[in-house]
Amino acid sequence: MHLLDAVRLAFQTLRVQKLKSFFTLAGVTIGVMFLIAVVSIVEGMSSYMENDFVAKLIGVNTFQLRRFPMISDASESEWREWVRRPRITFDDAREVAAALPEEALWSVESSDNIPIESRFSRPRALEATAIDGDYFRIRNMEISLGRLISPQELTLGTRVAVIGEEIATRFFPRLNPIGRTLKVGGTSYEVIGVAAKQGSIFGMSMDRFVITSANAPLQRLVNPHNLIDGMKIKMPTTDGMFEARETVRQVMRGRHKLRPSQKDNFVMETSESALEFWRKIEGNLVIAGVILPAIALIVGAMVIMNIMLVAVSERTREIGIRKAIGAKYRDILAQFLVEATTLSIMGAAIGVALGIILSQTIAALSPLPAAVAPWSIVAGILVGAGVGVIAGVYPASRAARLDPIVALRAE
Amino acid sequence: MTPGATEISGPGDPGLSTTAERRIVIGDAGGAPDKEWVIVARGLTREYDMGGEIVRALRGVDIAIRRNEYVAIMGPSGSGKSTLMNLVGCLDTPTAGEYWLNGMLVSEMNDDELARIRNREIGFVFQTFNLLPRASALHNVELPLVYGGVPATERRKRAAEALDSVGLADRKNHRPNELSGGQRQRVAIARALVNRPSILLADEPTGNLDSTTSAEIMNVFEQLAASGQTVIMVTHEADIAAHAKRVVVLRDGMVESDDRREKFATRMNG
């Protein structure tokens, strides 16, 4: 018997037993659906993290000198060690900047939530950042209105501010904010620029910020005297970045008077090190995303095996007839194996469709991005086929081994 | 007179009632029989192990059937006729003895070889029809060709022809439950014939039919026998057996008598 005949036979049987087939499919469908959905969301988050999130926060060939990592899953004891570390100061930054090569870009920054208000809106505490150095060039910030803060203004601490798109619409609704006054922590600043819209990350707006000079009064509100949150250094090349990291390490170890045996009491985060943290989470998510559907698939396989065993005993006489008129061992084996596999591939196909719908729905209703990976569709179908084959082998071989005389006598 | 009947009454008359006479035709163990013998069984024995107890269903049956013969195998229940039918139909292999079908030593074959023989050499007709309930008449008739590896288009053509030959051309797409008993048995006959088998093997073919329909089906068998098809029919009804040209009677797993119909009828009446 040809494979095509076996497949046709399988579809015939499935058509006749629609309801039973549907229940049989359910396990595989659910398993594959969640496999596709979880993989899609993890993939979506992954590509988002790698392409957008980290690049927006840290940037290419850039590293960040901080007291402790910005993103981490630190343990209690690690935290206790971190909060005892000395903070980064303006003096540190100056010495580091002096040691860096000519082509290096650097910036210092400190942020906190500060009450902000304007004549057109009620006050609200939002993120305000005091900066110095090549901050705008490192962030690649583009302006949609007005201009950036000039180096002179940064040095002089002129009371001017660059604001994000969302701040502009909130505090200056339907108005041109340029030249207008924004009160940040009680001090008035003139808005000189609005940054181009950057969108959001996991539902967090990237357009909700106010930037002033680190020499302006804001600095006193976001950090105690002489302290900064961190320093960013950007090099033209990746190799340059690694060399610069060593330079910064030497300067900082010297300033913190560390003996050679002592570990660094500061961190230099690159986009890579932030991504490492993400990859750790991703690993766990993928494991969960594989184990949960796997359980559903095992249940699905058991259901299929059970249904196929019932089908074999229900159709014992049919098997006897087929054997009497010349069906060989492998004909009967193929018949039931193809039937089980067809069932589970159909279940998998429905699961793929539902999984795509599910992941798109999640992407639409939540900030989680979703990207359906083509390999996950192929994997879903293959897994479905595999489940069918595994679940079908035992019932099919039982059917194929039946003695035709005994089978013909069955009711 | 049918060609089959002429041969039977010829010099090599297989309707031989004594063991000694049958021996001459059947020949010695191991030797392939002449081409004219479609079935030769020598000392066919079948024992079953029923939980430690050996049940001897057949105890050395010798039988020879010529091509184009129409033979009935009779016997009361427990005589071993079902066991003999299973062996002749290649559904089972003997514990001892030889079974030659169409020049092939079937008794030595494995399951897959037996399946191939059943597919090519034997057409089964059962008491309970044994059609696939969910398949159309055409598909039922097609089935042996599916397992014979015949391409789909030819399969359909041959199945339609077979249905036509039993007068069911207009019932092709009906399912068994939409057909009468007689029609179902005709579908079964069409299925049995579609592969042009060496023997048509019928097991109580009228057991589930009323007398009118039985007569109809027996008529079909008679026509098939007349057209040169070898027909072997297993039955326990003497009047059904009387349709055959030759009657083999089994008792206690052995051949009790093997006669031409006329002789059998005389004995039954006398």
Residues of A in contact with B84 (CB under 8 A): none
The percent of residues in chain B predicted with pLDDT above 70, rounded, is 88
Cβ-nearest to B112 among A5, A16, A329: A329
Across the interface, of A5, A405, A408, the residue whose CB is closest to B130 is A408
Highest mean pLDDT among A209-213, A270-274, B12-16: A209-213
The answer to whether the Cβ–Cβ distance between B86 and A331 falls below 8 Å is no
Pair of tokens at residue A145: 């209105």
Query: What's the whole-number mean pLDDT along residues A31-42?
Result: 86
Residue A59 placed within a domain: no
Look-up of token digits 């995303």: A289
How many domains in chain A?
A: 2
**Closest by alpha carbon to B121, among B101, B138, B139?**
B101
Bigger pLDDT: A13 vs A1: A13
Residue with tokens 């010099």: B11
Q: CA dihedral in degrees (A309, A311, A316, A318; nearest 10)?
A: -150
Residue B250 bridge partners (DSSP): B255
For residue A332, the chain B residue with the least C-alpha distance is B147
Does the CB of A98 have a partner CB in chain B at under 8 Å?
no
Residue A369's pLDDT band, with cuts at 50, 70 and 90, is confident
Per-residue pLDDT tens for A300-319? 899 889 888 988 998 899 99
The pLDDT > 70 percentage for chain A reads 97
Q: Are residues A121 and A224 in the same domain?
A: yes
pLDDT of residue A292: 82
At A201 the pLDDT is 67
Is the separation of the CB atoms in A275 and A13 below 8 Å? no
- Residue span of the structural domain in which A378 resides: 3-52+286-409
Same-domain status, A96 and A220: yes
Using the predicted structure, report yes or no on whether residue A111 has a pLDDT greater than 70.
yes
- The residue-averaged pLDDT of A116-139 equals 92
Are residues A192 and A319 located together in one domain of the fold?
no
Looking from the CA of A289 toward its CB, the CA atoms found within 13 Å total 20
Point out the domain boundary residue: A235, A268, A299.
A235
Measured between alpha carbons, how far is A325 from B120 in angstroms, rounded to an integer? Answer: 9
DSSP for A141-187, written as a single string = --EEEE-PPPHHHHHHT-SEEEE-HHHHHHHSTTS--TT-EEEETTE
Return residues 11-30 of A near B (CB < 8 Å).
12-13, 16
A19–chain B nearest CA distance, Å = 16
pLDDT tens digits, one per residue of A331-362: 999 989 988 888 889 889 999 999 999 888 88
Q: How confident is the model at residue B5 (pLDDT cuts 50, 70, 90)?
A: very low
**A7 falls in which pLDDT band (50, 70, 90)?**
confident
What number is the average pLDDT over the span A261-275? 84
Q: Does some domain include residue A58?
A: no
Across B30-177, the runs of DSSP E, i.e. the strands, are 37-50, 53-66, 70-74, 96-101, 104-105, 122-125
Examine the domain organization and report whether A42 and A97 are in the same domain: no
The residue written with tokens 């604001």 in the block is A163
Question: Are A19 and A155 contained in the same domain?
Answer: no
pLDDT, residue B24, reads 54
Kindly state the tokens that stand for A348.
Answer: 């998998």
Task: State the angle between helix axes of A374-401 and A18-48 in degrees (0 to 180), rounded to the nearest 10.
Answer: 150
Question: Which residues does residue B122 pair with via DSSP β-bridges, in sequence order?
Answer: B199
- Strand order across the B199-203 sheet: B122-125, B199-203, B230-234, B70-74, B246-251, B254-260
When CB atoms are compared, the residue of B89, B92, B146 closest to A1 is: B146
Structure tokens at B205: 């073919």
CB A210 within 8 A of CB A161: yes
Inside any domain, residue A268: no
Q: Where residue A273 falls among pLDDT bands split at 50, 70, 90?
A: confident
**Rounded distance between C-alpha atoms, residue A120 and residue B158, angstroms:** 90
Confidence of residue B1 (pLDDT cuts 50, 70, 90): very low
Task: Say how far apart CA A26 and CA A22 lie, in whole Å.
Answer: 6
- The token duo for B8 is 């039977």
**Is the CB of A331 less than 8 angstroms away from the CB of B147?**
yes
Rounded to a whole number, what is the distance in Å from the CA of B93 to chain A's nearest CA?
11
Is pLDDT at B64 greater than 50 in this prediction? yes
Does residue B72 register a pLDDT over 90? Answer: yes
Which strands sit side by side in the sheet containing B37-50, from one edge to the other?
Answer: B53-66, B37-50, B96-101, B104-105
Q: Is A314 on the interface with B (CB under 8 A)?
A: no
pLDDT for residue A56: 65
pLDDT at residue B17, as a whole number: 45
What is the per-residue pLDDT for A126? 92
User: Are residues B87 and B93 in contact, defined by beta-carbon separation less than 8 angstroms?
Assistant: yes
**Using CA atoms, how far apart are residues A331 and A339, in angstroms rounded to an integer?**
12
The minimum CA-CA distance between A391 and chain B, rounded to whole Å, is: 25
- Residue of B146, B173, B170, B174 lying closest to B158 (CA atoms): B146
Residues A166 and A42 grouped into a single domain: no
Does any domain span residue A257?
no
- Please check whether residue A325 touches B, CB under 8 A: yes
Asked if B132 and B143 touch (Cβ cutoff 8 Å), the reply is yes
Q: Sort out which chain B residues have CB atoms less than 8 A from A311's CB and list them.
A: none
Residue in A210, A192, A187 with CA at minimum distance from that of residue A126: A210
**Would the pLDDT of B30 be above 50?**
yes
Q: What is the mean pLDDT of residues A48-74?
A: 77
Q: Given A235, A250, A268, which residue is the final one in a domain?
A: A235
Q: Which residues contact A6 (CB under 8 A, 6 or more apart)?
A: A334, A335, A338, A339
Instruction: Name the residue with higher pLDDT: A57 or A86.
Output: A86
Q: Which residues of A touch B144 (CB under 8 A)?
A: 325-326
Q: What is the mean pLDDT of residues A230-256?
A: 91
Among A161-175, A266-280, B184-198, whose mean pLDDT is lowest?
A: A266-280
pLDDT in tens, B102-124: 989 998 899 999 999 999 999 99
For residue B131, give the chain A residue with the closest CA: A321
Percent of chain B predicted with pLDDT > 90: 69
Nearest-angstrom CA–CA distance, A15 and A17: 6
Those residues whose C-beta lies under 8 Å from the C-beta of residue A353, and which sit 6 or more positions away, are none
Nearest CA among A1, A11, A313 for reference residue B142: A1
pLDDT above 50 (res B14): no
Range with the lowest mean pLDDT among A11-15, A59-63, B51-55, B155-159?
A11-15
A211 located within any domain: yes
For residues B209 and A281, which has the higher predicted lDDT (pLDDT)? B209
Average pLDDT in the A41-64 region? 76
A2 vs B: CB within 8 A: yes
- Residue A291 has what pLDDT? 86
Query: Do A220 and A290 reside in the same domain of the chain?
Result: no
Q: Which residues of A touch B91 (CB under 8 A)?
A: 323-324, 404-405, 408
User: Do residues A167 and A214 both lie within one domain?
Assistant: yes
**Mean pLDDT along residues A368-390:** 86
3-state secondary structure of A212: strand
Contact A328 B131 (CB under 8 A): no
Whether pLDDT at B8 is above 50: no
With 60 as the cut, is the pLDDT of residue B4 above it? no
Cβ–Cβ contacts within 10 Å for residue B259, how many?
18
Residue B83 CA from chain centroid, whole number: 13
Task: Transcribe A271-313 into DSSP letters.
Answer: HHHHHHHHHHHHHHHHHHHHHHHHHHHHHHHHHHHHHHHHHHH
Which of A13, A318, A325 is the closest to B147 by Cβ? A325
CA A7 distance to own-chain centroid: 41
Please enumerate in sequence order all residues whose Cβ is within 8 A of that of B84, keeping only pairs 6 or more positions apart, or say none. Answer: B44, B58, B61, B63, B73, B234, B250
Q: Quick check: is A99 in a domain?
A: yes
Structure-block tokens of residue B70: 């129409």
A227 pairs with which residues across the strands? Answer: A89
Smallest CA–CA distance from B89 into chain A, residue: A324
Locate the chain A residue with the closest alpha carbon to B119.
A326
Residues A208 and A332 in one domain: no
CB contact under 8 A, A326 and B147: yes
pLDDT attached to residue B270: 57
A347 to chain B nearest CA, in Å?
A: 24
Kindly state whether residues A228 and A322 are assigned to the same domain. no
User: Is A76 inside a domain boundary?
Assistant: no
Question: How far away is chain A from the Cα of B144, in angstroms, using its nearest Cα?
Answer: 6
Q: What is the pLDDT of residue B13?
A: 47
Answer yes or no: do A103 and A228 share one domain: yes
Do A318 and A390 sit in the same domain of this protein?
yes
Which helix H or strand E contains B256, and what residues bound it? strand B254-260
Tokens, residue B75: 């016997």
Q: Which residue has the higher pLDDT, B6 or A225?
A: A225
What mean pLDDT do residues B212-222 have?
Answer: 93
Q: Which residues in chain A have Cβ-Cβ distances shorter than 8 Å to B124?
A: 324-325
Contact A192, A149 (CB under 8 A): yes
Structural domains of chain B, with CATH: 3-269 (3.40.50.300)
- Asked, for residue A74, whether it belongs to a domain, the answer is no
